Structure 1
Amino acid sequence: MVCAAMLILDVLSPLLLLSILLPSYGCRAADIPEDATSEFSVRLYHQLQAAGEQDNIIFSPLSVAMALGMVELGARGASLEEIRQVVGFSHLLPGVEFSLLQNLTAALSDDDSHYVIRFANSLFLQEGVTFNPEFLHLVRKYFQADVETVDFSESAAVAEQINNWVENHTESKIRELLSAEDFTSATRLTLVNAVYFRGSWKNQFRPENTRTFSFSRDDGSEVQTLMMYQQGDFYYGEFSDGSQEAGGVYQVLEMPYEGEDMSMMIVLPRQEVPLASLEPIIKAPLLEEWANNVKRQKVEVYLPRFKVEQKIDLKSILQDLGIKHVFTSNADLSAMTDGKDLYIEKAVQKSYLEVTEEGAEGAVGSGMIALTRTLVLYPQVMADHPFFFVIRNRRTGSILFMGRVMTPEVIEPNDHDFDSM
């Protein structure tokens, strides 16, 4: 999967932060320090939840943290402190967060890992503008960013150049990300962060066991979807918040990717309980409680194939969370250049996740066997209604992707893959 974060700093108009995520699988977690941004991740989720009651959600906290990290390198004063406070770095000595992000990405990019994950960062600078050499040095040091000069007044050519860069770093999954209208003659700097992430389930679903099944949405409607099935060893637990706020007992299933450093954790309320009843209790400590208390056991899993895609206005969300100065003319990004006229005008993240039998896009299967709830010998996770998920590092708790599925991949009766019940 891929995340790309892009920031465009203008003297008068935008800094555009674009993140594109194609989560496809896992990474290695050896020697990575404990993640400090879990609470920030959860707060981002709750902001997105409040904005769309019945919408799917997908975003990458890691991508947001990396993009803000590059901005933070150029920030001073209140602009710097707001980012550190909101992201969760205020308890660290100044500058330590950059080493943490550097160590995280270096370890995840280990060539010996069971996964494929590549981080690529680039700075596109306006020709003729002098940037602080120390800022450029630190961006190269901590984010291994390439540096190129462009003429933003040639907006069409610049858009094409950056689009090609993003496409090359996302295995051609993200095309035509930007247009000429995204740049003006006032644009001075574009920061691009791309992350390619791919892996496979440790226990893959067999495509011949996939068939159509009814998925009940929280608005009372039903859709037909391709439901994957397997019986295997997974991490599983049943939890309750001790009240009816979360609808009583709910299930947590953790499915490792090959190598087991990375996993997808699925949180499923009871069939009759809307996901909205469970979401208010989601907090960073609870994520750790789930991870620490699920036990490995044999489980019957029914999981829909799904694609989740979302474009997010990060500017308004980050402002609501307390990052305000960098989006106004009061921004202090003077560590980037001697001038104090840079600020962030726009912040957007676009994310995409596809989950299939293999764990990545590409598997196709039409139903061959009937699914049944009878003769249940093991715990059964039937994800035929909305659920919450995270893709996380099992050693550090670092969250690569977070979201929810309110509507999975819908199959119409006349679809080629449709197999009537």
Structure 2
Amino acid sequence: MLILGLLSILLLGPGYRAADIPEDPTAEFSVRLYHHMQGGDENIIFSPLSVALALGMVELGARGASLTEIRQALGFSHLPKDVEFSMLQNLTGALYEDDARYIIRLANSLFLQSGVTFNPTFLRLMRKLFRAEVETVDFSESAAVAEQINGWVENHTEGKIRDLLSADDFSSVTRLTLVNAVYFRGSWKNQFRPENTRTFSFSKDDGSEVQTLMMYQQGEFYYGEFSDGSSEAGGVYQVLEMPYEGEDMSMLIVLPRQEVPLAALEPIIKAPLLEEWANNVKRQKVEVYLPKFKVEQKIDLRETLQDLGIKKIFTKDADLSAMTGEMADGKDLFIGKAVQKAYLEVTEEGAEGAAGSGMIALTRTLVLYPQVMADHPFFFVIRNRRTGSILFMGRVMMPEVVESSDFDNDSM
């Protein structure tokens, strides 16, 4: 399993006029982000944790209404002032506690315009609270800056996320760029055997079918069947939780019935429901059919965040004066761009680079145990089971397609 995501936020100065471990309180924010991204028939992958950390860095430099909007959107309004920073520290620290079983990296960086004076207290707190690296650049040399930042991104994501930003993203009025990278690679606690992977038909919500590589195993997992009590979500749906080595991290898969499109289930997804699923799945033997898939997506978050109530930091009314202290034009800073790019790959052993396997048809056998047949679109969450922190959230509308020339049709 390889999953990673990255979020970059660009701050611009005057002259630019383009339009104990606590539970994570940002779950509702995560779900709201997802609902603003859904629609259409595309795969979705993003990192709520990456967004929360990047906004936390902006919050550190915000004041007034700009600060209030960020705290409200992220779910921090009920917390005493500044408590959220130590909370974010604890949540991210919890991810490292079992890192002998998996690889996880949370990397933050500040790229500052040379010649501009930034508040030393802001920089010190960025290093202390977010472990941020700080580098000075000349944003007027836009091509060189884009190459430098993209190189930093590639280095912290094992080369999986490339070309996050371009020279067009910078100009002489850019003052600061915050970049946050999240990288995770882990192995399933119960791995799939590659020799059991076969070609299989995956039914898309539009009624068409594609051929994909379907993994199979019978093992002990956390499983439950749920109903929303109405026909809104098509009645009963399945939830499967598959832990990674160490069991602190897991993938939660939510699968509607075969004849029910995922779009019918998505409206009921809410933060309390995520907890209900996680708390009520029971360990039992399950037959699992899960497609191999790879998802990558670049998202412009500016409009989405504005829709969620974070508006002022993207306008000339932004108050990010804590970043600059007594700098004369400190109150003229605002966010020019918010971008995230995320990547997810699921394979038999969970690690990157799974070996290819035989491509012959699967046949359904007598069902002795609950069967999760993910041969149609499903929703998923990658989360820390102790804190509830959501590293990644998304859906698979279509997995990797096996072309007809790649397998023997007679075997189908």
**Normalising to structure 1: TM-score of the pair?**
0.93
Contact 2:111 2:135 in 1 (8 A): yes
Residue of 307, 310, 319 corresponding to 1:320: 307
What is the CA–CA distance in structure 2 between the aligned matches of 1:245 and 1:417, rounded to whole Å?
41
Task: Measure how far apart 1:153 and its partner are.
Answer: 1.2
Report the counterpart of residue 112 of structure 2 in structure 1. Answer: 125
Question: Counterpart of 2:143 in 1: which secondary structure?
Answer: helix
- Equivalent position amino acid for 2:368 in 1: L
Contact 2:361 2:411 in 1 (8 A): no
Q: CA deviation at 1:112?
A: 5.3
CA distance in 1 between partners of 2:32 and 2:99 (Å): 34
Q: What percentage of residue pairs aligned between the two structures are identical?
A: 82
Q: Which amino acid aligns with 1:272?
A: E
Q: Distance in 2 between matches of 1:183 and 1:224?
A: 43
Please say if 1:285 is aligned against 2:272.
yes
CA–CA separation in structure 1 for the residues paired with 2:40 and 2:411: 30
**2:321, 2:171 → 1: CA distance?**
21
CA drift at 1:220? 0.9
CA displacement, residues 89-138 of structure 1 (integer Å, 9 cap, x when unaligned) = 00100101111111122221237541111222111111110001111111
CA distance in 2, matches of 1:245, 1:414: 40
Query: Root-mean-square deviation (CA), in Å?
Result: 1.8
Greater Cα offset, 62-71 or 336-345: 336-345
Alignment of 1:180-259 (within 5 A): 180-259=167-246
Give 5+ residue unaligned stretches, structure 2.
Answer: none
1:415 is matched with which residue: 402, 406, 409? Answer: 406
Q: Which residue of 2 aligns with 1:90?
A: 77
1:146 to 124, 133, 144: 133
Structure 2 partner of 1:21: none
Q: Structure 1 CA distance, aligned partners of 2:369 and 2:226?
A: 17
Q: 1:3 aligns to what?
A: 5
Distance in 2 between the 1:368 and 1:5 partners? 37
C-alpha distance in 1, partners of 2:98/2:18?
A: 34
CA deviation after TM superposition for structure 1 residue 143, in Å: 0.3
The correspondence of residues 6-405 of structure 1 with structure 2, limited to 5 A, is 6-11=8-13, 12-13=15-16, 31-49=20-38, 52-110=39-97, 113-337=100-324, 338=327, 339-367=330-358, 370-405=361-396
Q: 1:163 to 1:128 in 2, by over 3 A?
A: same
* CA-CA distance at 1:8 after TM superposition: 1.4
- Distance in 1 (CA, whole Å) between partners of 2:379 and 2:318 is 36
- Distance in 1 between the 2:120 and 2:410 partners? 62
- Alpha-carbon contact 1:42-1:283 (below 8 Å) kept: yes
Q: In 2, Cα distance between the equivalents of 1:184 and 1:344?
A: 13
Check the 8 A contact 2:360/2:408 in 1, yes or no. Answer: no
Superposed CA deviations along residues 234-264 of structure 1, whole A, max 9, x for unmatched, are 0000011111111011000000001100100
Q: Distance in 1 between matches of 2:345 and 2:18?
A: 29
Once residues 17 and 289 of structure 2 are traced to their aligned partners in structure 1, the CA distance between those partners, rounded to angstroms, is 45
Cα distance in structure 2, aligned partners of 1:251 and 1:14? 48
**For residues 164 and 236 of structure 1, what CA distance do their matches in structure 2 show?**
41
Cα distance, 1:352 vs structure 2: 1.2
The alignment partner of 1:197 has SS state of strand
Q: Using a 3 Å threshold, how does the CA distance of structure 1 residues 304 and 277 change in structure 2: closer, same or farther?
A: same
2:99 & 2:49 partners in 1: Cα distance?
21
- The Cα of 1:370 is off from its aligned counterpart by 4.4
- Is there any run of 5+ residues in structure 1 with no aligned partner, and where? 17-30
C-alpha spacing 1:418/1:166, structure 2 compared with 1 (3 Å): farther
